[in-house]
Amino acid sequence: MMTERDAQRFWSKVDKSGDCWIWKGARFKQRNGLLTYGMFSVDQKPKKAHRISYELVRGCIPTGFKVLHQCDNTACVRPDHLFIGSQLDNIADCVLKRRNRNGPYRKVGEENIHHVLTEAQVLFIRKSERSNQQLANDFGVGKSTIGHIRKRRTWRHI
């Protein structure tokens, strides 16, 4: 149960200066190192920050439903950028906005919102004589990422 003090603590971690209200607190880190959803603890239980934002402004989230982002910014907690939907709604939204990784409309290279490297860096990696580990250290990615680039398993379009 959120107290008024919890709500004040929550909103103190939000930057409202832009169109998206960006969560400045702890963020969930994926295995690939990308930061995604904001995290906020209530009664020592971590919850996704965008869900808390929705609940604070709009009320309870129906069981089994997700809070989706109209803006596609996982760090955004602006209530009017959030809406309720099922997992099927989430998938349909992803496909409609061409964010799906494996579908026919997937974006590749620098157009993919999850890209870490630039095309120039990928071309440099392919020409380099340095080891995969050295390049991984230089670019802040995993050694296997470098191997996939060199074997054209990823970044095939260039």
- Name the band, by pLDDT with cuts 50, 70 and 90, for residue 67: very high
**What is the domain range of residue 120?**
110-150
pLDDT for the residue 32: 66
pLDDT for the residue 25: 93
Same domain (yes/no): 132, 68 = no
Domain count within the chain: 2
Same domain (yes/no): 31, 85 = yes
Task: Identify the CATH number of the domain in which residue 14 sits.
Answer: 3.90.75
Could you tell me where the beta strands, DSSP code E, fall in the chain?
Answer: 14-15, 22-23, 27-29, 35-42, 45-48, 66-69, 82-85
Same domain (yes/no): 79, 139 = no
CB count, 10 Å around CB of 100?
Answer: 15
In a domain, 105, yes or no: no
Q: What is the pLDDT of residues 108-150, one digit of tens each?
A: 788 776 778 999 999 999 999 999 999 999 999 999 999 999 9
Same domain (yes/no): 11, 40 = yes
Q: What is the pLDDT of residues 11-37, one digit of tens each?
A: 999 999 999 999 999 998 776 666 789
